[in-house]
Amino acid sequence: MYIIGSYIVSTLSGTSFVDFVDKRIFKPLGMHSSTYSIDAAIRSGKFTDTWTHFGRSIPPWIEERFVDLTAGPGGVISSVEQVVRQTV
C-alpha cells in the first residue's frame, strides 16, 4: 500500500513524490545528500554498492526510470550520518 500512499501524495500535492519528499522533508531537515535518485547519488561521489557478508559487491538494481515507482515503499539513499543526526 506504500505505492498507493506515494501516489496519493503526488496527486494531492501536484508534484512527484520524490520532489515532495525532497522539498518538504529532506531539505528542511538539512539532509542535502539524501535522495531517491541513484544517478544523483553516483554524481555526488559518495555512493557505494551494497556488500554481502562475504565481501561480494551488489551493484544498484533499480533503474532511474523506476524511481517514482519505488520511492513510496522504500529506496531512500542516505548516509548513516544524516539519518542518525535526525534521530538524536
Domain limits at 72?
Answer: 2-87
Residue 18 burial (10 A CB sphere; 0-12, 13-18, 19+): buried
Spatial distance between the Cα atoms of 73 and 57, rounded to a whole number of angstroms: 24
What is the domain count for the chain? Answer: 1
Q: Which pLDDT band, with edges at 50, 70 and 90, does 67 fall under?
A: confident
Report how far residue 3's alpha carbon sits from residue 48's, in angstroms, rounded to the nearest whole number: 26
The pTM for the full model equals: 0.77
CA pair distance 87, 77, nearest whole angstrom = 16
Question: What is the model's pLDDT at position 11?
Answer: 94
**pLDDT tens per residue across span 4-63:** 999 999 999 999 999 999 999 999 988 888 998 888 888 888 888 888 899 898 887 778
